[in-house]
Homo-oligomer: A and B are copies of this chain.
Amino acid sequence: MWLPSQLPEVESAMRDSGFQGDPGSLSDLSKPPMSAVVSLGGCTASFVSPKGLVVTNHHCAHGAIQLNSTPENNLIVDGFNAATMADELSAGPGARVLVTDRFERITDRILADARGATGRAYHDAVEAASKAAVAECEAEAPGYRCSVVDMYYGTDFHLVRQLEIRDVRLVYAPPDAIGSYGDEIDNFMWPRHSGDFTFYRAYVGPDGKPAAYSPDNVPFKPAAWLTVSTDPLAEGDFAMLAGYPGRTFRHRTAAEFADQVEWQLPSRVELMSALLAAIERGSAGSADAGVRYAAQVASLKNTLKRAQGELDGLRRSDAVAERRRQEAAMSAWLASQPDAAATRADIDAASRVIASARATRERDQLFGLMQAQTQLLGGAMRLQRLALERGKPDAEREGGYQLRDEARIEAALRQAQRRYAPEVERAILSELLARHRALPADQRVPEIEQVFGADAAAADAALDTLYADTVLASEDERLRLLAAAPAEVQASTDPLMRAAATLLQAVLRFEDGDKARAGELLRLRPAYMRGMIGHARSEGRAVYPDANSTLRVSYGRIESLQPRDAVSWAPLTTVEGIVEKHTGVAPFDAPGPLRDAIARRDFGATADPGLGTQTVNFLTNLDTTGGNSGSPVMDARGRLIGLNFDSNWEAVSASWKFDPRYKRAIHVDARYMRWIMARVYPAPQLLAEMGLPLDGADRGPAPAAAAGR
- Chain A residues near B (Cβ < 8 Å): 190-191, 193, 285, 564-574, 576-577, 580
Contact = CB atoms under 8 A, between A and B. Distances in A.
A367 to B, nearest CB: 31
Contacts of A570: 566-568
A574 B566 CA distance: 8
Contacts of A567: 191, 567-570
B580 A191 contact: no
For A193, A565, A569, A574, which residue has the most chain B Cβ atoms within 10 angstroms?
A: A565
Nearest to A576: B565
A566 B569 contact: yes
Nearest to A577: B565
Pairs A-B, 8 closest by C-beta atoms: A565-B577, A191-B566, A568-B568, A566-B570, A566-B573, A565-B576, A565-B573, A191-B565
19 contacts: A190-B566, A191-B565, A191-B566, A191-B567, A193-B565, A285-B285, A564-B577, A564-B580, A565-B576, A566-B569, A566-B570, A566-B571, A566-B573, A567-B567, A567-B568, A567-B569, A567-B570, A568-B568, A568-B569
Contacts of A565: 191, 193, 573-574, 576-577, 580
Contacts of A571: 566
Interface centre among A190, A193, A566 (most CB of B within 10 A): A566
Contacts of A566: 190-191, 569-574, 577
A572 B574 CA distance: 26
Given A565-B576, A567-B569, 5 more contacts: A191-B564, A193-B565, A566-B574, A568-B568, A568-B569
Nearest to A193: B565
Nearest to A570: B566
A625 to B, nearest CB: 24
Interface of A is mostly: mixed
A376 to B, nearest CB: 29
A577 B569 CA distance: 16
A569 B190 CA distance: 14
A610 to B, nearest CB: 14
Contacts of A191: 564-567
Contacts of A576: 565
A285 to B, nearest CB: 8
A309 to B, nearest CB: 13
Contacts of A564: 191, 577, 580
Contacts of A285: 285
A580 B567 CA distance: 12
Nearest to A613: B565
A285 B190 CA distance: 40
A270 to B, nearest CB: 14
A492 to B, nearest CB: 41
Nearest to A562: B570
Nearest to A571: B566
A193 B566 CA distance: 11
A648 to B, nearest CB: 12
A509 B288 CA distance: 51
Contacts of A577: 564-566
Nearest to A574: B565
A566 to B, nearest CB: 4
A193 B567 CA distance: 13
Nearest to A190: B566
A470 to B, nearest CB: 31
A299 B112 CA distance: 73
A268 to B, nearest CB: 17
Nearest to A578: B565
Contacts of A574: 565-566
A285 B286 CA distance: 10
A669 to B, nearest CB: 12
A285 B285 CA distance: 8
A566 B569 CA distance: 5
A566 B191 CA distance: 6
Nearest to A619: B566
A233 to B, nearest CB: 14
A365 to B, nearest CB: 24
A305 B614 CA distance: 31
A574 B564 CA distance: 10
A571 B568 CA distance: 11
A574 to B, nearest CB: 6
A573 B564 CA distance: 10
Contacts of A190: 566
A569 B576 CA distance: 18
A456 to B, nearest CB: 26
A568 B570 CA distance: 8
Contacts of A568: 567-570
